[in-house]
Amino acid sequence: MIAPIVRDIAALRAQSEPWVRAGASIGVVPTMGALHDGHLSLVAAAKARCEHVIVTIFVNPKQFNTPEDLANYPRTEGEDARKLERFGVDAIYVPDGDVMYPEGFSTTVSVTGLTDVMDGIYRPGHFEGVATVVAKLFTQSRATDAFFGEKDFQQLQVVRRMACDLDIPITVHGCPTIREMDGLAMSSRNLLLSDRARIKAPILFEELEKIADGLAAGAPFADLHSSAIARLEKAGFTKTDYLELRANDDLALLEAPTRPARLFAASWLAGVRIIDNIAVES
């Protein structure tokens, strides 16, 4: 079934109005397009849980750190719409930049604490951009449920905090990371990897797994960390922004998994920044 593509807020509201009046559940899956199986797993989760599903596609300029990164971000709207056909979603919302940020737009949603670490440091302003656009997508769609991947676990926690703090009546669901056969976490940015870099990219996930195994065997995190960094460098990862063990809930830095925790990494390979995270046993 081909879902209607709606491009402005009035058309989106006209779609959802009867659902809201009927008290139906509405799932929203916010994306920036270039849909892969990771996104499609979120759509499947939304379809399983909600009576109506809206997928949003908006390459949000406010969350990019450089104009080149924004310009290089893959845009594949026609292909995305085709990939969504088999799911029978109710609407695909594809707003233009000036629908989302009309002239005079002056508001920024800023979540403190959770954004003081990891990508909050290495991508200044990124989470303000994410929180601002997601708050708008939540209120525009009037969704009851939202679906985000754990691949961007820090983003998931920031969005949860934002929705709670702004009293937006929505349940935010975190869904498992979907991986390629060789372990690489699915990401639209993987399209930017050269063939050579694509072969090496799963090494980041392999190193996270080695650290998780080492922690489970009682090895100190600091030792596991330094050998992982050395192997990453040898494999051609030019710079690791962070490779850290942090608590799930408040993202506090840990030396051992004394409470539910994850390993988080961001590392550069052939000019592409790869991020990943995995849960560890606590």
Q: How far is the CB of 156 from ligand PAF (least distance, A)?
A: 9
| Closer of 162 and 254 to ligand PAF (Cβ) | 162
Least distance to ligand PAF from the beta carbon of 130, Å? 5
Taking the least distance from each CB to ligand PAF, the nearer of 19 and 73 is 73
The CA distances from residue 155 to 67, 102, 110, 211, in Å, are 21, 25, 12, 23
Q: Is 225 annotated as catalytic?
A: no
Q: Which residues pair with 174 in a beta bridge?
A: 148
Task: Provide, rounded to whole angstroms, the least separation between the CB of residue 266 and ligand PAF.
Answer: 15
Q: Which residue has the tokens 């063939």?
A: 195
Residue 125: φ, ψ to 5°: 85, -15
Instruction: Tell me the closest approach of the beta carbon of residue 217 to ligand PAF, in angstroms.
Output: 34
Q: Which helix (H) or strand (E) holds 100?
A: helix 97-100
Per CB under 6 A, residues contacting ligand PAF are: 30-32, 60, 63, 130, 133-134, 152, 155
Shortest distance (Å) from residue 97 CB to ligand PAF: 13
Name the residue nearer to ligand PAF (CB basis): 138 or 221: 138
Q: Are 145 and 27 in contact (CB under 8 A)?
A: yes
Neighbours of 67 (CB within 10 A): 9
Q: How far, in whole angstroms, is CA 99 from its chain's centroid?
A: 22
> 91-93 and 171-175 as β-strands: parallel, antiparallel, unpaired?
unpaired
User: Which lies closer to ligand PAF via its Cβ, residue 137 or residue 261?
Assistant: 137
CB nearer to ligand PAF: pick between 31 and 144: 31
* Buried-exposed string 193-222: b where 16+ CB fall within 10 A, e elsewhere: beeebbebbbbbbbbbeebbebbeeeeebe
From the list 36, 39, 52, 225, the catalytic residue is 39
Residues labelled catalytic: 39
